[in-house]
Amino acid sequence: MKFFLDTANLDEIKEGISWGCVDGLTTNPTLISKEMKGDGDFKSLVGEILRIVPGPVSLEVTSTEHEGMIQEAKKLKKLGENVVIKIPTTIEGLKALKELKKMNIDTNATLVFSVNQALMVAKAGATYVSPFVGRLDDISEDGMSLIEDIKTVYDNYSIETKIIVASIRHPVHVRDAALIGADIATMPFDVMKKLINHPKTDEGLKRFLEDWEKIDKKKLRF
């Protein structure tokens, strides 16, 4: 399973990439707006992100009509070869997905909350589908069961659209996504950081180092 960061913060992106665990990136208007403070410039920010991320980068349109989505998509795609266009899962979005597929522009159908929506965007030509598990959990639904159902349906019909598990809240979501067999998990930086942490690892390392200090260093030979 591939790991994407869900952020537009350059420091987080650079740190995550240094770990060797970042395969791509997802953004949305909210994440972008957080980083465009003061003299922040959209093109400069996105240009730097596209330069340093070793994989697909999802940039979201803000138009609600398919003609506007397509025009935005063309402009965004010019920013870099690794740009993926995030399209909302609506009827207008389906129209845009269909046309962008014809143009060989990769797309990410976002804000998916049901198997039927996942089927529709796949049929329309979406490269990726982003079911939002955390937001379903927030309203007492089981977000991960949706991932399992989408995975089953896609496998039933050999659908090539890749599943991006989105709106991840904690490491358990990542573990469950991997067990189900989702293609990608996109997560905030703090969640990715938690994946490597374990108290027993810290405890063991502390014990080893304490025991090492008991050795007479004069007896060490290399």
Domains of the chain (ranges; CATH) run 2-197 (3.20.20.70)
Dihedral over Cα of 30, 31, 32, 35: its sign: positive
* Nearest CA among 192, 184, 189, 190 for reference residue 58: 184
CA–CA distance, 153 with 133 (Å, rounded to integer): 17
pLDDT at 219: 79
Distances in Å between the alpha carbon of 75 and those of 82, 143, 151, 160, 209? 13, 33, 32, 26, 55
In the prediction, which pLDDT does 151 show? 98
pLDDT along the chain (222 residues), means of 10: 98 98 97 84 95 97 98 98 98 98 98 98 98 98 98 98 98 98 98 97 96 85 73
Instruction: Tell me what pLDDT residue 76 has.
Output: 98
Is there a catalytic annotation at residue 123?
no
pLDDT value, residue 96: 98
- Select which of 77, 86, 151, 162 is catalytic: 86
CA–CA separation, 65 and 69 (whole Å): 6
Instruction: Report which of 113, 115, 74, 70 is spatially closest to residue 93, judged by C-alpha positions.
Output: 70
